[in-house]
Structures are given as structure tokens and as C-alpha cells.
Amino acid sequence: MPKIEKPSAPDQRALDQNNLKDAFVLEQNNPNVVRILRYLEKDCGFTKSDVVIQATNGGVDMASTTVNAAIRSVYVRMRRFMPKELISKVESE
């Protein structure tokens, strides 16, 4: 029986990214997909600043800023694979 080789990690990542791009293209006119992505865009704070200022001394709260940046990056990373038309639908409201 021939051995089936798994793709290497970089090859698998590229395959996953291409599949995600294809899914966004195929589903960009699906109102439910747009609704889900719009929720994710708002929940991840895409349009908000990552920086959190401490009320006590006016300095940057590094821990909270790091958390905000990580949460925001979820949508930002997905957005890279969306066609412009879908981005417009998601972010226009």
C-alpha cells in the first residue's frame, strides 16, 4: 500500500489560505456570511485603537493594549483574504 504524504506546514498553510480566499469569493453574496463577518469586525474592534490609557497616570496600559491588538488581529488576518467587494459590504454599515 503506498504511503500518503501530508503536505508540509508551509504548504498546508498556503492551501488553507487559498481555500479561505475561495470560500470568501463564493459566499460574498450570502447575507448570512456578511452578517457574521460584520459582527466579527465590530466585536474585534477593527476601527478602534488598540491603545489603552491608564486613568491613574495617563500612561499606556501595555497588557490591555496587547490584548486589544490580539483581538483586533483576528479580523485583520481574515480580511486579507476577502475580495474588495465583500470588505465593502461588511464595513459599510
Q: What is the pLDDT of residues 22-66, one digit of tens each?
A: 999 999 999 999 999 999 999 999 999 899 999 999 999 999 999
Task: Report the distance separating Cα 8 and Cα 48, nearest Å.
Answer: 37
- Residue 7, in any domain of the structure: no
Residue 1 maps to a domain? no
- HEC profile for 13-72? HHHHHHHHHHHHHHHCCCHHHHHHHHHHHHHCCCCCCCCCECCCCCCECHHHHHHHHHHH
Q: How many domains in the chain?
A: 1
What Cα–Cα distance (Å) separates residue 92 from each residue in 27, 50, 51, 86, 89?
Answer: 17, 21, 24, 10, 6
- Structural domain containing residue 59: 12-91
Give a yes or no: residue 3 inside a domain: no
Please write the tens of the pLDDT for every residue from 4-24.
Answer: 777 888 888 999 999 999 999
DSSP label of 7? P
Q: Is residue 33 part of a domain?
A: yes
Whether residue 57 lies inside any domain: the answer is yes
Residue 46 lies in a domain: yes
